[in-house]
Structures are given as structure tokens and as C-alpha cells.
Amino acid sequence: MKLKELLEDKLNEDLNFVKFKYSNYKEDPKPKVKVLDFEYPGQVGQKTYGDREDLLGFNINYFKNPRYAKRAIDEIDGFARLLSANKKEKYKRLKYFYPEISKFIRRYQRQYISNLKHKKKLVWRGTSYNGLIDYDKDNF
């Protein structure tokens, strides 16, 4: 890999953008998601809290203007990163600056996710769930 490509990868600090097939769907069998957390345990007090590590993110397919939504999410996330915000603080900031977003956050169970693809620059590339977790840790 060339030095320029390595630098571009490290400078890209947006939330990860993934798409996949989801067999346990109610409305959207092929979500496109800006991922907030790849290992979301749930909320304290839920029956399943700590039992699962689900993917938590914003389903872009539900927004009227997906391009605007992706850009707004990334700008707010970038600002939160400057303030060294953790994932919970990021969500609070996203919800405060972009209130409509809270309607489109979804939790996806890992066991029902297949054909996972990650968008890097302009290309969708197949990947594994564990590979994305590692990439997210490097990106945070």
C-alpha cells in the first residue's frame, strides 16, 4: 500500500458506513447503516443487557435525504471527536444537533447479518464483522 493511501485511510475519521442483508428484518432487508457501535450491549435494565453485542447505528435508508443525513452525521461526529467524546456522548450530540436522527437509530443482531460490506471511499468492499471491529478501534 502506498504512503498516500495509508495517510488517507488514517485521516478518514467518519463513522463507518456499512450495508448488509438482515434476515430478521421488519421493514428493511438490506439496511445501509452509519455505525455508532459494533459491540452494543444494550441499555441497562433491558432483559438482554450484556447478553448480546449488536450493531447499533443509523439506517440511512429511512432518511428523506440520505446524502444530507450522512454528511450531517459525519460533521457532528467529527466535532464530537475533537472533544474526545465517547460513543454515548456522540449519540447525545447527534440527537441534540439533529433531532430527527433518533427516529432512525436501529439495533441489529449479529447472528442475522450476512453479506457485510464496508464503504471505503467510493467502493463497497466485502468484510468480516471482526475485521470491522478492529478497523473501528483503529479509527476511533
pLDDT in tens, 107-116: 999 999 999 9
Q: Can you tell me the distance from the alpha carbon of 43 to that of 49, in angstroms, rounded to the nearest whole number?
A: 6
Spell out the domain ranges in the chain: 13-139
pLDDT tens, 10-46? 445 678 999 999 999 999 999 999 999 898 888 888 7
The tens digit of pLDDT for each residue in 31-41 reads: 999 999 898 88
Indicate the pTM of the whole model.
0.82
